[in-house]
Amino acid sequence: MLRPFLSLALIGSNFADTIERLDPALDAIIPPNAEVETLCTGHDWAEGPVWDQQGQRLLFSDVPRNTIYQWKEGMEQAEVWMKPSGFTGIVKNRREPGSNGLAFDSAGRLVFCEHGDRRVSILTCQGGKRTLADSYQGKRFNSPNDLTFAKNGDIYFTDPPYGLPRKDQKAFQELPYCGVFRLTPEGKVTLLDQSLERPNGIALSPDETLLYVNNSHGPRPVITAFPVKPDHTLDTGRVFFDMKGLDGPGSPDGLKVDPQGNVFTTGPDGLLIINPEGKLIGRVRCGRATANVAFGDDGRCLFLTSKDRLLRIQLKP
């Protein structure tokens, strides 16, 4: 078990969430007096948070409920913003049918990873959705899970099988692997990697020379760092961080990178903060499996979707 460099900062009114400081460098990211706020509760599996700067709100998916919620400052509970969010079909034995990862493009349009409809889509200015990609070489994706944008408009996304019907997963699966893909603004889809059993959270380094991908696979719970080649494909990846042996419920899931190159990833017992050299410098312990993370309010705060809750932590200005 890892022991903190500094004492635990027990925060929050019910002391359920703690910040564990493993290195003094964390103080430059999360100030010593920071608190973990519970913003709303009551969800099945909150996922895919994204800050809408124009609307001054947080949007996030509840995957089992096939719903996207919005939360604004002052709300005691989040409001339904879109339903259905990721599945419009009739197959009923899906545990995770809704949207998962959400991101805004450079024009401010919302892009979705949709589990049930097995596609990457975009919300148009007229209010309807348009499919950006739903297949590779004529075979449907498994269930696009999470995504990140490159500065040139390329979308990198992961495709594990979590949105497929559990009882009939093999019958529905058309691709024989779980891939990491790139989608260009022109609509071209390229398979970048198929070595990870369950690719999940995904993010680029600030200079876009590395692509980080979480592998939410019990026997190999690792973050892989892939060098990005000049043609935007990937070189052979290396293990950036191995979560095996860390205590607490949950596995590698959502992932973001700050402008300094620090990696914020959900994992066992909540959130891990890892510096660019791969050293774990802090944890936010939530006491439960935690799905995803997002920066908000111009990078001044951090949002966590922790199972049934939406949490917020203020960051160092």
Binding residues for a divalent metal cation: 47, 200, 253
Q: Which residues contact 307 (CB under 8 A, 6 or more apart)?
A: 43, 45, 46, 286, 288, 289, 290, 291
Which parts are annotated binding residues? 47, 140, 145, 168, 200, 253
Tokens linked to 196: 């990870």
Which parts are annotated binding residues for substrate? 140, 145, 168
Q: How far apart are CA 17 and CA 288, in angstroms?
A: 10
Catalytic residues: 253
Tokens linked to 18: 């703690």
Per-residue DSSP letters for the chain? ----SS--EEESTTS-EEEEESSGGGGGTS-TT--EEEEE---SSEEEEEEETTTTEEEEEETTTTEEEEE-TT-SS-EEEESSSS--S-----SS-SEEEEEE-TTS-EEEEETTTTEEEEE-TTS-EEEEE-EETTEE-S----EEE-TTS-EEEEE-STTS-STTHHHH--SSS-EEEEE-TT--EEEEE---SSEEEEEE-TTSSEEEEEE--TT--EEEEEEBPTTS-B---EEEEE-TT--SS--S--EEE-TT--EEEEETTEEEEE-TTS-EEEEEE-SS---EEEEETTTTEEEEEETTEEEEEEPP-
